[in-house]
Structure formats: C-alpha cells, structure tokens
Structure 1
Amino acid sequence: MVNRGTTGRETAARPLVPQQRTARTPSWAAPDPLDRLAAQLGDFAAAAVHPDEIAAVLESDGLSDDQIRERYGVRNSFALAEELYARVPRRHPEPDAPPHDPWRADLRACLLRGLAFALPGLAYVLGAPLLTGPPGALGLPPGTVPLLAGALFGWTWNQGLSHRAYAWLGLGDRPAARRCLLVGAPLGALLGALTALAFAGPADGAAVAFAAGQSCYLGASTTLLVLGRERALLAALAPLTAGALLALARPVPDPLGLTVLVGSLAAVMLLGLLSVAPSLRKPAPASDAPAAAASLPYALFGLGSGALVLYAALGDVLAGQEHSALAAPSAVALTLSMGPAEWLLYRFRSGSLAGLRTTGTPHAFRRATLRTGVECLAAYLLVLLALGLSATALWPDTPGLTAVRLADLLLLGVVLWTGLLLQSFGAVRGTAAVCCAAALAQTLALLTHLADPHGVALTVYATAAAVQALLVRTLLGRATAHR
C-alpha cells in the first residue's frame, strides 16, 4: 500500500531491507572492467587505426585468452581489441615536437648507390677482347652463356649473403656481419666461377676468366655496399669508368683496356678485404646467429629479378637480331634506376608512417597508403622512361624504343619496384615466387623457340606486375604491416 504522503518513486527508492542492500554493491556502481582497460590504454587505443594494433599490445602485455575470458567476458584478444576499438573515440593528439621520421633518406646517397649498381656494366666495354669468337649456344654472342650463368649465381648468392649480414647488423653485431662477409664473399666468388666454368664451351676460356673476375667483383662490392662504403666503391671504379667512356669514343689498345679493367677489380677487392679485416681481431659473437634459412627467399628474389633483367637486356638477341647491343639500353636504364627506386621506397615508408598519424579508420589508412604507393610507382616509371629514352639515344647503333619494347621496360619496372617494396616489408616469399615463376616462363619460351619472344615477355611482365600489385594492395593496406 502506497503512503499518500510520498510518491511512488520515493517509495520504490526507499530500501525495504537495509541490511541486505548495504551488504551488496549496486550494479550501477560497479566499474566496467572494459572501461578501466580503455582508460589504461589511453591515447594508444584512441589513435589505433585498426583493432589488430590494440590486439598486438594486449598480447605483448602477456594477457592470455583464459585471462581475457575471466576478466572481460570475451573470447580472446582480438574480440577484446574490437570491443575497445568500438568504445574509444578516434583521436590523434598532435605531438609537442615534429614527429620523428626514421625513413627520411638522402637522395644523393641513393643516387650514388644507383651509380654503384650501374657503372660495373662498363666492364663489358673494356672486356670485349675476351668475348670474341663464334656464336655460342642458342646463337648468342660468344661467352654469353657462362657469363650469364656466373652473373645469375652471383646475384643469387650475394642477395642472400647481404640479407644475412644485414641481419647481424640489425642485432648490433657489426664484427659478426664483417665475419659473415669475410667468409661468404670469397666462397660465393669461387662458386660463381665454377658455375661459369660448368656452362662454358671449349672456346669460352677467356669468357670464363672474365666471369671469374665478375664473381670476385660481385662479392667485394656486396661487402662494401652492406658496410656503407659506396663512395670508396665508386672511387675504385673511377679508372674503369674513364677507360670505358674513352673506349666508346675512340678505340683503346686492348692491353691498356684490360690493364684498367684488372686494376679497378683489384682495387675493389682490396677495399673489400680492408673493410672486413677488423673482424679478424674480434672474438666470436655471443649472440645467437640468425637462421640461415631466413636468407633463402631473398636469394631466390635475387635469382628471379636478376634473370628478368638479363632477359630484358638480351631481348633483341633472342628475337633474332644480330647485335646484343640493341638491348643494352634497357639494362642500363634498369640498373641506373635502382638509385631513385631506393629513394622512392623510403618515401613510401615515410608516407605510410604519416598515414598512421593522420587517418582514423582502416579504410582511410588503406586509401592513403595506396595513393602514396601509386604516386611513388608513377614517379619511378617516369624516371625509368627518361633513362630508357636517354640510353637509347646515346647508345651507338641503337634503334629507337618501339611501343612493345617500351611496354616491356615499364612493366618490368613495375615488377621490380613492387618486388623491392614487398621485400622491404619482409613479404619476400610472395615476390620471390612471382619473379622466379616469371623467369621460368621466359626460360621455357626460349628453350621451346617460341616465334614471338617480345609477346611472351609482355605477357609475362603484365601478369607478374598484376599479381604483385595485388600483393601490395592486400599486404600493405593493413596498418599492422607498417608498425
């Protein structure tokens, strides 16, 4: 019965059994564990672009799924992260100082590395006396097969070697990186020379000698590039560069050309040895060695991408042209473009980091990242186009770039740049598989004597470019890939 002197609300609010009500905590007064956790995570949860970022923090704090179910009533860390992501409004507080950008790169340093990749190709100008004789297998110029075999092995081996050395540098153990290079570079040079010998014919003795020097150079230059000594490498290549440019302008006596070639090779090898010599005075590393198997995908990427570049360089020869020089501008453009390509990779990483700070949803971040990737790829293709046209105009006795050859060059540029981008994020297995499959397809086309090698190359490059673009969109559109 309700007392007429009070309202129904007052009667309902009056405790009928005070002892029981005071012994029990009101449901509305109990703090929500999820609210407490959201407050603890603070600005990080508010700035997260995707729930997976919050899940990574929860797992790093050691929360097991059993603890999460007991404390918060959800099944696992991902479900808890989604709850927190939904509860906390998105906000991105501005830092007191300009944010640090670890991906800011010096364009001049990248261009110097690009020159270091391209200038060794001038060795073929001075080494021409070693590459004379009757045509080799498949009608290729004399010595081509052993040279290609040695080069492909060297690119494969040294790509894996450089990854392993960089892994030591990432652990902060520079002496161990030097020891890795001290052992790996000479071993790779020996195996590269033996590979060239295995593919040589009876008349390819001089070409095998050239291939052995090529293998020694690849090992020594890898050592210098990994240890950041690009300027020393370029200084050692200066005589070679000057001699090759002079030989392109007017004939140079063969003994003089070969002396300059051997002198530059000896200088590079000496600099490489001096760079790793300090490791001989250091004790063995105390830290665990990086897994050797982790470097295998990087070696396979070197094999696949190197084969694609070589096929681009020999495209006109495989089509039945008389002179391998017809395809040389493509190889020159691709190697020179590696410097700008590296700088644009840094630009992409910097842009994606800015996207993490300025976007508030996974969709917005994916859109910003893809826009940055398209801009960087377009800039690289413009550089590659300019280099291709310039090399074609300057290279002696070379016709202009046809529409098909130009399409081949640009599509191969897409494959190489997206491959390097995926490799820089550790997604190397996918791009290694794509590049190796593309190289295998071109090899089969060559061995089966298909009538239109240019058409085959165009199809292969277009397919590989489409697959790798899809990999970039799928793998790098997630915010967690950039943390």
Structure 2
Amino acid sequence: MPPGSRPHTLPAIPRPRAKPSWAQADPIDELAARLDDFIAAAVHPDEIAALLESDGLSDDQIRERYGVRNSFALAEELYERVGRRYPEPDGPADDPWRMDLLGCLLRGVVFALPGLGYVLGAPLLAGPRDDYGLPAGTVPLLAAALCGWTWNQGLAHRAYSWLGLGDRAAGRRSLLFGAPVGVLLGTLVAFAAGGTGDPAAIAFAAGQSCYLGAATVLLVMGRERALLAALSPMAAGAVFAMAEAVPDAVRIVLLLGSLLAVAILGLLEVAPAARTPIGRRGRATAPRLAASLPHALFGLATGVLVLHAALGDVLADDLTGTGAVAAPAAVALTLSMGPAEWLLNRFRSAGLAGLRSSSTPRAFRRRAVLAVVRCLTGYLTALLALALATSALWPGTPGASAVRLAGLLLLGVVLWTGLLLQSFGAVLGATTVCCVAALAQTAAVVTHTGSPHWIALIVHGTAAAAQGALVCALLGRATAHR
C-alpha cells in the first residue's frame, strides 16, 4: 500500500436522522382533521369542548398531548383552524323538542282539575276560621300539599332519569316504591299540622296525598288521558255543585270514586315493575339520588309562591266568606302550565334551529334572544287572559287590580324562566332563587310586613330579574341548547 494512501474500506451506512421538530405532524392538526365535520358545523367553541370532555379527555391529557392548558383552550384552537361549514342534513332535521299543542293543553287541564275537588269538599270542612284567618282545615291541607309537591317533584325527576337511560322497568320501580312513601309522608305532615282536632281535614289531606302520588305515576308514564277520564266525574259534580245544592253523601262518593279510579290506574301502570327482576346496572350509570334533591326543593319553593298568590286576597282581607277563596290566581297559574310547557319546547326547538342556521356566535345569540322574548311574551299573554277569565267567572272575586295582576304576571315569569333554566341544566340556580323568594315572602307574611300584594310584587319582581339574568348568561352558550 503506497505511503499516504487510504485503506480501502466500505462506506459507512448513514443512520436515519430524526425529523426536526418543525417537520413533525402537529397533533392539533391531526385532531382537527379527525373531527373536521363536527368542528366545521360548530357555532361556538363550547360545543367542541363538550365533545372533547365527552370523549374522556382530561386537562392533564390535553396538556401532555397538545400543549394547551385545558379543553376550552384546545376547543378554541380547533375552532380557529377549521373553517365554518353548515351542511344540510339528509332528510328532516331531528327535533326532540317538538310537542303537540293539544297534548300540552290537556296536561294543563289535568293539572287544574283537582282544584275542583276542594270546591266539592269545602262543605265537608265547614267550621270557624283558624288563628291565621284561614278557612277550617286549610293548614293541614296546605302542609300536606307542599309535602306532596316536594316529594313527587323529586320522584318524577328520578323516574324520568331512568326513562332517559332507556330503563323503563327501573322507572316504574322507582314510582312503585316512591309513591306510597309520599302518601305516608303527606298524611303524617297533615296530622302534625292539624292534630286530632280536625279529623275531616286529616282524612281529606290523606286522600289528597294519595291522589298526588298516583297522578305523578300517570303523568310520568304519559297517561294524561286516563287521568282526565278518572277525574271527569268529580269535575262534573263540582261544576254542578256550584249551581245546585248537593248532599254530602254524593260529594263523598264523587271524591272517593275519582280517587279510587286514579289510584287503580296508577297501580296498574307500575304493577309490571313488581314482576320484573332488578337489572344489574352499574353504579356509574345509575342516576344519583342527590341529583333529584334540587328538583324537589324547586317544587317546594314554587309551591309556596303559588300558595301565597292563592291566599293573598285572604291575608289582605279582600275576600270574605268561606271556601277556596282567591282560587282564581291558583287556577290561572295551573291552567297556564299547559301553554308554558308548549312554549318552552317551542323555544328549545328554535334554539336547535338557530344552531343549524347561524354561522357566528353573535348571530346565534341574537336568534336565541328573539326566540325567548317571543315565547315568554306568548306565555304571559296566555296567563293574563286566564287570570282575567277566572276572575270574571269566579263568584265573589274582587276586580283584578293592577298590583295584583302585575304580581301574578311576574310570578309567571319566575315559573317559566325556572322551567327554562331546568331544561338548560341550571336547576341549582333556579332552585336557589325560588327558595330565597319563597322564604322572603313567607317571612313578610308572618311578620305582617306591608300589604301582601305589594310584597308579592317586590319579591316576584326581584326573583324574575335574578332568573332573567341567569337565562341571559346561558342564552349564548351553544351547549345549553343541545
């Protein structure tokens, strides 16, 4: 080998070089490509954040994989990287909020008809007024009613939760065991409020509690027409009793007959659950009992507010006589629940349509605001018409003053926006506002602070403003309308 020459060697095989960081695929781009259709159709980044959270991505995983702080930051990044596209769906768009107007009106009538039972049973509770100036038997009846509304509101939410999971047998089972407990609690509360000095009122309250439990079963299971048929004889008897004298024996037969019919229908509806074996649903998928508590408290608070509206004229000494005085306010509110339910579903349907047709968050929010104004105005118009009609038709009712009507309409705002907040999933906010309002109005009445009508106007106005602010905060959030 000549000096200075290189030894003959094979060339070295080059090692594969790692790609520079700038040449690596961006994981956010990969995620954007995978979710392209959903991101392109999103109106607001919150919709994308909800999808990421539903896929189980935690904030720690997002920081490690994508280098952003949380799901909302990642959603905003994805929203910016993908252009907006709103393809038309194949076939008619799915709208789970579409509801028949006639069915909603029927529910409103079914809600109001039991009030005729008090008209039919009023002579059975004859006696001097109590220490509060209320007709005989009012306190135990009101106590049992509030207990029933509270318990059955929570029970209905529990049953609906099971039905939403597709487990109809479990929904029936919760009603089968929950309704009798509510009957027992209502009877015990009435006994504690009335004592042994008013056995007729205690018996009436026990029947009232039994009706509330059975009616809850039928309403949750969608048997409004069966409930209406069972109440028809009692309602017809009550209307006849307004014009003609009816013997007490006939009144008792009509009341017990309708009660027995409703109880049998409710029992038949849940009886299959007793023969169905309990499924092995996991604890993670079963509805939590604590989730029904805010709904129960919402039922209690709204029940107190409605009772104050019904008894406001008695406490203000605007009405004299015995029986279910000031009932027109309660009847109007109860009948208005049918239009309220339909208009609530109309608003939710409009929200879905806005998500499909709006291309920017601002445009969507504008459509949502217009929809809620239209629906709330429609509900208040229906409530005003019902209030004027019931005041004109109810014997012995004073003329509807401006203060009384304003308080009633503001209470309607509280009830409707409370239902809207529940449908948005913000039940805690609605429950808190209504509970504070109920406590404030009760404290004012107990301490004889001012006129009941003016107190109602102030309390209802404040609660309506608070819940209106909560609704406005959620209107532009696209995920609340899904």
Change (3 A) 1:134 1:380: same
Could you tell me which residue of structure 1 aligns to residue 335 of structure 2?
A: 336
- CA deviation after TM superposition for structure 1 residue 74, in Å: 3.3
Could you tell me whether the CA contact under 8 Å between 2:425 and 2:480 is conserved in 1?
no
Structure 2 counterpart of 1:166, one-letter code? Y
State how far apart, in whole Å, the 1-side matches of 2:61 and 2:188 are. Answer: 59
Could you tell me whether the CA contact under 8 Å between 1:365 and 1:477 is conserved in 2?
yes
State how far apart, in whole Å, the 2-side matches of 1:412 and 1:28 are. Answer: 62
State how far apart, in whole Å, the 2-side matches of 1:404 and 1:447 are. Answer: 21
Could you tell me which residue of structure 2 aligns to residue 258 of structure 1?
A: 252
Structure 2 counterpart of 1:452, one-letter code? S
Could you tell me which residue of structure 1 aligns to residue 424 of structure 2?
A: 425
Which residues in structure 2 correspond to 1:117-266 (within 5 Å)?
117-200=111-194, 203-266=197-260
- CA deviation after TM superposition for structure 1 residue 28, in Å: 8.6
Q: Secondary structure at the match of 2:91?
A: coil
State how far apart, in whole Å, the 2-side matches of 1:164 and 1:308 are. Answer: 24
Could you tell me whether the CA contact under 8 Å between 1:135 and 1:141 is conserved in 2?
yes
Change (3 A) 1:448 1:24: closer
- CA deviation after TM superposition for structure 1 residue 325, in Å: 4.9
Structure 2 counterpart of 1:165, one-letter code? A
Could you tell me whether the CA contact under 8 Å between 1:133 and 1:203 is conserved in 2?
no
User: Which segment is superposed worse, 412-421 or 54-63?
Assistant: 54-63
Deviations 1:282-335 (A, max 9, x none): 111321442211111000000000111111000100112324655211111000
State how far apart, in whole Å, the 1-side matches of 2:73 and 2:299 are. Answer: 41
Could you tell me which residue of structure 1 aligns to residue 299 of structure 2?
A: 302
Could you tell me whether the CA contact under 8 Å between 2:173 and 2:273 is conserved in 1?
yes
State how far apart, in whole Å, the 1-side matches of 2:60 and 2:438 are. Answer: 49
Which residues in structure 2 correspond to 1:322-333 (within 5 Å)?
322-323=320-321, 325-333=324-332
Structure 2 counterpart of 1:312, one-letter code? A
User: Which segment is superposed worse, 454-463 or 34-43?
Assistant: 34-43
Structure 2 counterpart of 1:302, one-letter code? G
Structure 1 counterpart of 2:129, one-letter code? P
State how far apart, in whole Å, the 1-side matches of 2:463 and 2:26 are. Answer: 52
State how far apart, in whole Å, the 2-side matches of 1:421 and 1:68 are. Answer: 33
Structure 2 counterpart of 1:136, one-letter code? D
Deviations 1:118-174 (A, max 9, x none): 000000111012221111131111111111101000100100111111111122221
- CA deviation after TM superposition for structure 1 residue 24, in Å: 8.4
Q: Quick check: 1:440 aligned with 2:434?
A: no
State how far apart, in whole Å, the 2-side matches of 1:303 and 1:105 are. Answer: 27
Which residues in structure 2 correspond to 1:16-165 (within 5 Å)?
32-63=26-57, 65=59, 68-69=62-63, 72-165=66-159
- CA deviation after TM superposition for structure 1 residue 35, in Å: 3.7
Could you tell me which residue of structure 2 aligns to residue 317 of structure 1?
A: 314
Could you tell me which residue of structure 2 aligns to residue 385 of structure 1?
A: 384
Change (3 A) 1:78 1:314: same
Change (3 A) 1:132 1:203: farther
Could you tell me whether the CA contact under 8 Å between 2:63 and 2:69 is conserved in 1?
yes
Which residues in structure 2 correspond to 1:347-426 (within 5 Å)?
347-426=346-425
Change (3 A) 1:286 1:31: closer
Q: Quick check: 1:481 aligned with 2:475?
A: no
Structure 2 counterpart of 1:206, one-letter code? A
Q: Quick check: 1:269 aligned with 2:263?
A: yes
State how far apart, in whole Å, the 2-side matches of 1:200 and 1:67 are. Answer: 60
Could you tell me whether the CA contact under 8 Å between 1:348 and 1:376 is conserved in 2?
yes
State how far apart, in whole Å, the 2-side matches of 1:363 and 1:450 are. Answer: 45
* TM value normalised by structure 1: 0.91
User: Which segment is superposed worse, 352-361 or 62-71?
Assistant: 62-71
Could you tell me which residue of structure 1 aligns to residue 344 of structure 2?
A: 345
Change (3 A) 1:70 1:273: closer
Could you tell me whether the CA contact under 8 Å between 2:43 and 2:364 is conserved in 1?
yes
Change (3 A) 1:63 1:445: closer
Q: Percent identity?
A: 69
Could you tell me whether the CA contact under 8 Å between 1:68 and 1:75 is conserved in 2?
yes
Deviations 1:385-435 (A, max 9, x none): 111111111111222211011101100000001111111222111111111
State how far apart, in whole Å, the 2-side matches of 1:150 and 1:408 are. Answer: 26
Q: Secondary structure at the match of 1:138?
A: coil
State how far apart, in whole Å, the 2-side matches of 1:254 and 1:23 are. Answer: 100
User: Which segment is superposed worse, 50-59 or 442-451?
Assistant: 50-59
User: Which segment is superposed worse, 287-296 or 346-355?
Assistant: 287-296
Change (3 A) 1:62 1:302: closer
Could you tell me whether the CA contact under 8 Å between 2:118 and 2:324 is conserved in 1?
no
* TM value normalised by structure 2: 0.91
State how far apart, in whole Å, the 1-side matches of 2:196 and 2:26 are. Answer: 83
- CA deviation after TM superposition for structure 1 residue 229, in Å: 0.8
State how far apart, in whole Å, the 1-side matches of 2:44 and 2:392 are. Answer: 50
State how far apart, in whole Å, the 1-side matches of 2:278 and 2:61 are. Answer: 43
Deviations 1:169-193 (A, max 9, x none): 1222212222211111111111101
State how far apart, in whole Å, the 2-side matches of 1:187 and 1:66 are. Answer: 45
Q: Quick check: 1:293 aligned with 2:290?
A: yes
Could you tell me whether the CA contact under 8 Å between 2:124 and 2:248 is conserved in 1?
no
Change (3 A) 1:61 1:455: closer
State how far apart, in whole Å, the 1-side matches of 2:412 and 2:58 are. Answer: 46
Could you tell me which residue of structure 2 aligns to residue 454 of structure 1?
A: 453
Change (3 A) 1:39 1:223: same
Structure 2 counterpart of 1:360, one-letter code? S
Structure 2 counterpart of 1:306, one-letter code? G
